[in-house]
Structure formats: C-alpha cells, structure tokens
Amino acid sequence: MQMLVQARSTRPIAGLTGLRQHAPKPIHAVQTMRSTIRHAPTLVALLLACSAQAAEPRREPLEGWADIDAEGRVQAVQWGKRVPLWLHGPGLQALRAMEFTAARDGDLAAASRTWLSGSFVLTPEGEDFAIGLEKVSAGPGVIRLRPPRHPGPAAGVLTSRSAAFLARFEVGPDGRALAVETSASARERAFAAAVQDVLAEWQFQPEQIGGVAVASPMCIPFVFGERGSEEALRREAEGFCRSDRRGPVAPTQQPAWHTIGIHARAP
C-alpha cells in the first residue's frame, strides 16, 4: 500500500552541501509515504548533476524525538544528530502527513513523546523530488549501549563460532531492560548469556504518555560471527517480537528494531 501526499514549496532548500552519496539499495517498505516538495531548484540541480545513479533513490537516516497528539499526528520533532539540517523542514512536513495510531492511557487516546527511527528515501521525479519515509518505527530512545562480547572458546563454544537470534524485553520507566527473553537455541546458550549480560548495562530513554515515562516493549536482532541470517531473523520477528504497545504505532512499524541490530565479530 502506498500513499502520496503532495506538498508545494516556493523556496529552494538551503544547506545541501551536506548531501552524502549512498549506494542505492532496494526498497523493502511495507508502506511508503511520500511528500513531494516542488520548485526546489537547488536540490534538483544537485541531484541531476550527480552520476548516472542520480535517478536511483538514496537514503538518509531518520531519527529523533517526536511529539504526537491524541489523534496520531506529529506536532514537533527534535531531530537526532545524524539527520542533515536541510532535511529538518521537509522531513517534518512528510511526518506530519503520516497517520500514527495514537498512544493509549487506559482506554483513551493520549498525547505522547516517542523516539522515531527509519530512513528518508530521496527520489528525483522530473523537476521535482520525492521524500519517502521507509520503515518508520516508534519506541524508546537509546542513551548507552555496547555490543556483547563473542563468548569464544573460553565459554566452551567449540561447535560453533556463529549465532543469530532475537532478544525481546521491556524498557522500564527507569530506562533499564527488564524481562529479557531470547529466541536462541540450545547450542546458542552461551551467546544468549552474553546478550543477557550486556542488556543489563544498556540504558534507554523511555517513551512518555501524558508527560509520564512508561514501559515499552523492544525486540532487537543479534548476530554473532558470520552475517547472512538477517532475512531469516526478519521472518522470525513477525511472530517472536509481536507485542501490545501503549505508545504510538507507526503505519510502517517494524516488529524488531532494525536500526540497532547488533553484530559481534568472532575472536
């Protein structure tokens, strides 16, 4: 399903010297919302002056704290450091066109503050360009994390140097991970123990509903050793990571928080 929202702009977008060149990747969004900004000659000239790949979509990170009202509409965004300055205005315009499922306070819809993650997808369209929102998800923010250590031979991991599984848990109002469960198999127990240990050190910034910090579910993929199992984890997440959120839900909400999937190299 795809929705397209047209938004006109009569001024060029300044500050485009920070546009980074990304290798194009396939778009896998379940639902994409585009906000087309018209008459932006600076951006159009830059995109058309690039290589033959200029017609291909390119991505920029989407991250920041969003205030969402009781009707599921974004009112304001405090952008994260990785979002280019020139995307702040058009990015907010695109998010305001997206309909979230509002947070719940008991049986009532409520205003909330949540961390949004995902990607902007920039696509030239003739004399216009489109800003797509890909895999936007809402959840707690991350304050501090470090990857887990690979268990290695010291932990008796002799039969396998790789593992891939999901960890689901709840971020409490104090920003700590609670009730950690993993989808690790019996042969992956040492890896699961390493994840349990590191999650105890992670610190999050909880979501707020009505100005009060609340508990929120999270689910994160962990890959130890060789990559290549990400697609299988995405399929597994459809069931293992399902949870009932009190916080707001994006129409493209991901069951696992793909933006901080953790990869630990083998020693």
User: pLDDT by residue (tens digit) across 141-164?
Assistant: 988 888 888 887 655 554 567 888
The pTM (predicted TM-score) of the whole model is 0.74
Residue 31 is encoded by which pair of tokens?
Answer: 């639902």
Residue 17 has a pLDDT of 32
- d(CA 134, CA 77) in angstroms, rounded, equals 17
Task: Say whether both 176 and 250 belong to one domain.
Answer: yes
Task: Say whether both 123 and 236 belong to one domain.
Answer: no
Task: Say whether both 80 and 92 belong to one domain.
Answer: yes
Residue 264 has a pLDDT of 63
- d(CA 118, CA 188) in angstroms, rounded, equals 30
**Residue 182, Cα to own-chain centre: how many angstroms?**
20
158 is in which domain, residue-wise?
A: 141-264
| Cβ–Cβ < 8 Å for 267, 152 | yes
Residues of the chain with pLDDT under 70: 1-55, 153-160, 227-228, 257-267
Task: Say whether both 16 and 117 belong to one domain.
Answer: yes
- Which of 95, 114, 139 delimits the end of a domain? 139
Task: Say whether both 120 and 151 belong to one domain.
Answer: no
Task: Say whether both 166 and 251 belong to one domain.
Answer: yes
- Which of 108, 139, 170 delimits the end of a domain? 139
CATH number of the structural domain spanning residue 224: 3.30.2420.10
**Tally of domains in the chain:** 2
Q: Give residue for tokens 């923010």.
A: 141
pLDDT tens digit sequence for 28-42? 333 334 444 443 444
Task: Say whether both 128 and 146 belong to one domain.
Answer: no
- Which of 95, 117, 139 delimits the end of a domain? 139
Of 251, 265, 255, 259, nearest to 1 by C-alpha is: 251
Residue 4 has a pLDDT of 36
Residue 240 has a pLDDT of 92
Task: Say whether both 182 and 195 belong to one domain.
Answer: yes
Residue 56 has a pLDDT of 82
